[in-house]
Amino acid sequence: MINMEARGIQSGFDFLTQAAGFDIGETPIPYDSGQGYWRAFLVGLANTLRVAVVGIFLTTILGTLLGVGRFSRNALVRGICTTYVEIFRNIPVLLQLFMWYILLTELLPDSWEPMQLGSFFLSKGGLSFPAPVWAFGHLTGILGLVLGVVAMLAYRRRNQRHFEATGEITGSIWVSLILVVGGAVLGWLVGGAPASFDVPVKGEFAIEHGAAVTPEFLTVLLGLTMYTAAFVAEVVRAGIASVSAGQGEAAAALGLSKGQSMRLVMLPQALRVIIPPLTNQYLNLTKNSSLAVAVGYPDIVSVTNTALNQTGRAVECIAILMAIYLTTSLATSLLMNWYNTRSAIKER
């Protein structure tokens, strides 16, 4: 500190209240350059979380499908899943980001000549799609969806207990879907059933109206999802393979189909093996989002670099960045540890 003062180098976090003075390309929350650096950091964090949360959701679905597909009786399905895993996990993620960036910014048509599928437009300017005009009915619809999910979980938990006690399958995936969708629709109807959409239209030079995501966001999302899903697929495959083959044979003897055996017998037992390494993959995806700066996506690392260069507060900016990644990683770990404890097989 004394050496820094002797050289006229300022220190401290007081700069956070000073005007940032720079714009950010993507702002999921309101922001302008006249606001403080703290607001700029908040925008960068929102952009990072936007990629991480959506990426984790898509990675879980794709990785699980690929992992289960490795056990398919269909040789073509097994071959496609194996080829995907071997290709995407053996190419560095940074190179994959560059590949997607070139595809989305060089090979797609220009903004004034976009590819169109209904009300969706894809071009070098990004992906444009219809967006609902926010109304009270959307809030009640979300509340109805949450209540529907709670009802679905309670329904599945009751069926699972009945299956464990009697070996009789009583649940139906259609009932679960009806509970979730029905709750959302009922909440939407209670709120007045708003149906107004802001639909994008093709303008003279660009797509106008609607909502849109930039090619930088799509690059980071696709790159991280496709890369991490290959590792998640191997985690799922290893977890299923760790379950004794006799469990599948016993399920078949009870008359369960292969799909029912996988869903009700194999996967629940494999979870205790899958969840710990799966947590590591979620953490890797979140931390790998820092590579977004290479393709110009304004994540927390990009905002931190700009703030550091403008203020010279290197120690403070790096400390903020470290604290953010540490907090997000610990939050992910706590959530997955809770889920791991809840999913553990209870000994009788």
On whether the CB atoms of residues 220 and 48 are closer than 8 A, the answer is no
Structure confidence by residue, pLDDT tens digits, 310-346 = 888 888 899 999 999 999 999 999 999 888 887 766 5
pTM above 0.75, yes or no: yes
Report pLDDT for 232.
95
The sign of the torsion formed by the CA atoms of 77, 83, 86, 88 equals negative
Report pLDDT for 9.
60
Report pLDDT for 75.
92
Report pLDDT for 287.
93
Structure confidence by residue, pLDDT tens digits, 269-303 = 888 889 989 999 999 999 999 999 999 899 999 99
Report pLDDT for 95.
94
Structure confidence by residue, pLDDT tens digits, 180-234 = 899 999 998 988 888 888 888 887 777 888 888 899 999 999 999 999 999 999 9
Q: Please state the separation of Cα 67 from the chain's center in Å.
A: 18
174 in helix, strand or coil?
helix
Q: Please state the separation of Cα 206 from the chain's center in Å.
A: 28
Structure confidence by residue, pLDDT tens digits, 1-37 = 565 555 556 667 888 889 888 888 888 889 988 898 9
What are the backbone dihedrals phi and psi of residue 172, each rounded to the nearest 5 degrees, phi first? Answer: -145, 135
How sure is the predictor about 175, in pLDDT bands with cuts at 50, 70 and 90?
confident
